[in-house]
């Protein structure tokens, strides 16, 4: 009876399986993103670099979680020797800064992508403020996690007299994590709301970038669960699974906008604003991949050029003789 009860309470294997499954999902998402980006533009951007570094951090974090499960994470605490508990706490101590660092790198990747979207000074000021806030949040959160308890055993938070209020600290980490996610989604909505495309297509664009709200939902569940459990309990396995879910969702939703069919549909619809077709696919790719260009700036510039061309054609047509016809623009269709 006792052995059966211990076996049922042993969730170490389940935690390990979920951790590595979610990591594989994140890796496949990043590979799909990088492949799509390279095929579309023949280059990778700075935002892709941040995502790749985030995957290295995520890998190290998953290794730390696996180490904790090998020490007994997922088992009932009352059957574990003090050495195993100490090993779990050390592994958690190592994984927490990596957890925060991974999230911060993903947020910076999104910020770099936002910068490439628009030349607007207002948007870029908001984006710069977001970057500074993410750096301050990550630095302060990691610093506190490293010195949460007195030396020489800063990982042993079971001795609450020697440690900070972990509930208040984790509430700070999680709340600001959710706030930065909401701000990022709001900035996306502000930028893409101004794009002159049909509302059906605009709704698709906004819905794709709003998938980051799934991360916010997971963060809320994480916060509610943490505030209802103790500092240190047998339900620590659920907290670990929630952490891994948030990391995986953060990576996957950062890669969703790079799905090939979505990118092609977005680019095709946006550059056809005001009846403006793409001159040719290769020149469009070169224009998109230029380091000194912005996507929305290119769109507005292309539309303006076509409008100027139509105006010049109309003027030539009105002043030409009956035997002289205005030359049509090679890159713009006549206005409807």
Q: Which residue has the higher pLDDT, 159 or 297?
A: 159
- Of the pLDDT bands very low, low, confident and very high (cuts 50, 70, 90), residue 27 is very high
With a cut of 90, say whether residue 263 has pLDDT above it.
no
Mean pLDDT of the chain: 77
User: In this predicted structure, what is the pLDDT of residue 201?
Assistant: 75
Q: What is the 3-state secondary structure (H, E, C) of the chain?
A: CHHHHHHHHCCHHHHHHHHHHHHHHHHHHHHHHHHHHHHHHCCCCHHHHHHHHHHHHHHHHHHHHHHHHHHCECECHHHCCHHHHHHHHHHHHHHHHHHHHHHHHHHHHHHHHHHHHCCCHHHHHHHHHHHHHHHHHHHHHHHHHHCCECCCCCCCCCCHHHECCHHHHHHHHHHHHHHHHHHHHHHHHHHHHCCCCCHHHHHHHHHHHHHHHHHHHHHHHHHHHHHHCCCCCCCHHHHHHHHHHHHHHHHHHHHHHHCHHHHHHHHHHHHCCCCCCCCCHHHHHHHHHCCCCCHHHHHHHHHHHHHHHHHHHHHHHHHCCCCCCCCCCCCCCCCC
Q: Which residue has the higher pLDDT, 309 or 155?
A: 155
Give 95-123 pLDDT, tens digit per residue: 999 999 999 999 999 999 888 877 788 88
- Enter the pTM of the model: 0.77
With a cut of 80, say whether residue 1 has pLDDT above it.
no
Q: Where is average pLDDT lowest: 54-68, 74-88, 106-120, 258-272? A: 258-272
What proportion of the chain, given as a percentage, has pLDDT over 70?
71
With a cut of 60, say whether residue 300 has pLDDT above it.
no
The mean per-residue pLDDT over the stretch 260-266 comes to 53
């Amino acid at each position: 009876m006792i052995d059966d009860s211990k076996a049922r309470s042993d969730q170490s294997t389940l935690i390990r399986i979920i951790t590595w499954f979610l990591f594989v999902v994140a890796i496949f998402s990043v590979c799909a993103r990088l492949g799509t980006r390279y095929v579309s533009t023949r280059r990778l951007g700075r935002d892709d670099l941040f995502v790749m570094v985030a995957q290295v951090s995520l890998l190290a974090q998953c290794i730390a979680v696996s180490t904790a499960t090998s020490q007994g994470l997922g088992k009932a605490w009352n059957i574990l020797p003090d050495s195993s508990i100490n090993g779990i706490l050390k592994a958690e101590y190592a994984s927490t800064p990596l957890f925060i660092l991974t999230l911060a790198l993903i947020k910076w990747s999104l910020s770099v992508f936002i910068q490439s979207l628009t030349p607007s000074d207002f948007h870029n000021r908001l984006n710069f403020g977001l970057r500074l806030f993410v750096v301050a949040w990550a630095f302060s959160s990691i610093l506190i996690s490293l010195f949460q308890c007195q030396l020489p055993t800063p990982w042993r938070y079971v001795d609450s007299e020697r440690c900070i209020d972990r509930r208040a600290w984790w509430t700070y980490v999680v709340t600001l994590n959710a706030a930065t996610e909401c701000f990022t989604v709001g900035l996306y909505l502000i930028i893409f709301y101004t794009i002159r495309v049909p509302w059906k297509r605009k709704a698709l664009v906004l819905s794709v970038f709003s998938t980051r709200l799934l991360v916010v939902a997971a963060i809320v569940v994480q916060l509610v669960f943490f505030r209802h459990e103790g500092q240190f309990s047998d339900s620590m396995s659920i907290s670990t699974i929630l952490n891994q879910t948030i990391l995986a969702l953060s990576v996957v939703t950062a890669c969703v906008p790079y799905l090939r069919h979505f990118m092609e549909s977005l680019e095709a619809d946006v550059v056809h604003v005001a009846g403006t077709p793409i001159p040719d696919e290769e020149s469009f790719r070169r224009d998109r991949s230029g380091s000194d260009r912005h996507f929305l700036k290119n769109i507005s510039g292309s539309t303006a050029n076509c409008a100027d061309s139509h105006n010049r054609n109309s003027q030539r047509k009105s002043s030409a003789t009956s035997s002289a016809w205005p030359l049509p623009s090679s890159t713009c269709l006549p206005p409807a």
